Amino acid sequence: MFRFILCILCYLTFVSLPSSGQAYVSFLTAEQIDTVKTKAQTDLDAKKALLLLTRQADRAVAQPAKIPKEYGGLAQDYLCPNQGVLLSYDEKTGAYRCPVDNKQYFGEKLDAAQRFYVHMKNSRATKDLGLTYALTGDNKYAVAGRDILLQYAKNWSEYKNPNTKDDHGHLFWQVLDETQFATNIAWGYNLIYPALTVEEQQTIEKELLLPLYSIIQAQKTDKISMNRTWENAASAMLGFAIDNPVWYKAAIEGPLGFKDQVDKGVLTTGLWSEAPLGNHYSALSALSAVAEIAPRFSYDLTSHPKFRTMFTAPLTIAEPSDQQPKFQAADLYELAYAWYKDPVFANYLTSTYANPAVKIDRLSYRALFYGLPLTATNATSLSVPAPKPAPEKTEPK
């Protein structure tokens, strides 16, 4: 029955696909690209951020991505059983070693979890390659991104996810991971689109983007929730990537879309209705991903007053001194400061980047593209606590 429903969804979404070669709407404007190039000549942080982005893309070109032919499991399975620390992987032996006690582990569950990180890494590489191609015009970046997309399109039918529960994915164990993969893929495809042949565009759209959209629609959550914000984000981003209004309008204006989520999912305090605070930041990340690109498609989603409060509310919360936040929000506040020009957000960014315990440099692509000078220090509307150290983000070796 599920396969039948999925086939119907695929057909309905297929007939709504625009023809490849449609009027192209890039996620980035020519003005944005020129601004970044100029900024990198005079601003040291921007210069470093551009260099980091280029180096990441160069590594993706030099070391072509390995595309697993099996589904990706759950990220939380890739931990030492007793210590909660990320395992490391020995590709030669197939063993997973805990760096704390050096014990080795084996098994399909760990193999699947390791593939989760590989698939996510490939999606981020696709986005990095697209960004670098847009900034440099060097075709080698487009070729590398194209190869990743075409390989996933080729492999799609081979992914056999054994999970049959609600909210399951196709490429991933759960559809939530599928949505986050899809947002990166949408970025990469949109930015390398001009370098692709019509045949390549058709293959990627019909054999990767359409199936991604279809599995998300088949498994989407029918309520106000953090998961639904990500399902909307992926649907909108895939729609933006190919300029398909059927997809992105439903994700923004439709029932339980972006606007409904903000109206009904954000409390009067400005916090997301699902605790803990990590869910707030996750929902805000999904909503911001859509709001970031929406102006290219005639939507201003940042003007919703409750959306703005989602940025201000967490900065008024005093966390226990022994509790470290699991989510580092500097990337989001680069957007918030660019959108609202509120000195409170500038103060948060300044204190975050200056805090030696946090150890975060201003090198994200959002800082590069949207970051404004952090000169505002006269915020009076909120008392902003200094950011606390966040766990260092690492990936399995």
Q: Per residue in 232-269, pLDDT tens?
A: 999 999 999 999 999 999 999 999 999 999 999 999 99
Q: How many domains does the chain have?
A: 2
Q: If pLDDT is split at 50, 70 and 90, which confidence band does 20 have?
A: very low
pLDDT higher than 60, residue 192:
yes
pLDDT of residue 319: 60
Q: Which two three-digit tokens encode residue 262?
A: 């903000």
Mean local confidence (pLDDT), 123-150: 98
Other C-beta atoms lying within 10 Å of the C-beta of residue 126: 28
pLDDT higher than 50, residue 229:
yes
pLDDT of residue 15: 43
Q: Where a domain ends, among 158, 187, 219?
A: 219
Q: Which domain holds residue 111?
A: 37-219
Mean local confidence (pLDDT), 367-386: 65
Mean local confidence (pLDDT), 160-180: 95
Strands 104-105 and 95-97, sheet pairing: antiparallel
pLDDT higher than 80, residue 392:
no
pLDDT higher than 70, residue 175:
yes
Mean local confidence (pLDDT), 124-129: 98
Q: Which two three-digit tokens encode residue 176?
A: 């939530």
The residue ranking higher by pLDDT, 320 or 175, is: 175
pLDDT tens digits, residue range 25-64?
A: 999 999 999 999 999 999 999 999 999 999 999 999 999 9
pLDDT higher than 60, residue 272:
yes
CATH number (domain holding residue 99): 1.50.10.100
Mean local confidence (pLDDT), 180-184: 98
CA dihedral 30, 34, 36, 37 (to 10 degrees): 140
pLDDT higher than 90, residue 12:
no
pLDDT of residue 138: 98
pLDDT higher than 90, residue 142:
yes
Q: If pLDDT is split at 50, 70 and 90, which confidence band does 317 have?
A: confident
Q: What percent of the chain has pLDDT over 70?
A: 86
Q: Where a domain ends, among 161, 190, 219?
A: 219
- pTM: predicted TM-score of the whole model, two decimal places: 0.89
Give yes or no for a contact between 347 and 385, defined as CB atoms under 8 angstroms apart.
no
Mean local confidence (pLDDT), 114-141: 98
- Can you give the length of the chain in residues? 397
pLDDT higher than 60, residue 327:
no
pLDDT of residue 328: 58
pLDDT of residue 397: 53
Query: Residue 60's closest CA among 145, 118, 135, 151?
Result: 145
Same domain, 60 and 175: yes
pLDDT of residue 11: 44
Could you tell me if residue 98 is inside a domain?
yes
Could you tell me if residue 360 is inside a domain?
yes
Q: What percent of the chain has pLDDT over 90?
A: 78
Same domain, 332 and 190: no
φ/ψ bin of 98: left (φ > 0), alpha (ψ from -120 to 50), beta (otherwise): beta
Give yes or no for a contact between 147 and 208, defined as CB atoms under 8 angstroms apart.
no
When mean pLDDT is compared over 261-270, 351-360, 381-390, the highest value belongs to 261-270
Could you tell me if residue 269 is inside a domain?
no
Q: Where a domain ends, among 199, 219, 239?
A: 219
The mean predicted confidence, pLDDT, of the chain is: 88
Mean local confidence (pLDDT), 300-306: 95
Same domain, 69 and 203: yes
pLDDT of residue 320: 53
Could you tell me if residue 238 is inside a domain?
no
pLDDT of residue 393: 43
Mean local confidence (pLDDT), 174-193: 98
- The sheet with strand 88-90 has its strands ordered as 88-90, 95-97, 104-105
What's the burial of 377, exposed, middle or buried (CB within 10 Å: 0-12/13-18/19+)? Answer: exposed
pLDDT of residue 22: 57
pLDDT of residue 395: 59
pLDDT higher than 80, residue 9:
no
SS3 266: strand
pLDDT higher than 70, residue 160:
yes
Could you tell me if residue 279 is inside a domain?
no
User: Which phi and psi angles does 86 have, rounded to 5°?
Assistant: -60, 135
Q: Which residue has the tokens 């805000």?
A: 284
Could you tell me if residue 312 is inside a domain?
no
Could you tell me if residue 128 is inside a domain?
yes
Could you tell me if residue 116 is inside a domain?
yes
pLDDT of residue 383: 38
Same domain, 213 and 325: no
Same domain, 342 and 197: no
Q: What are the strands, taking DSSP E only, across the chain?
A: 88-90, 95-97, 104-105
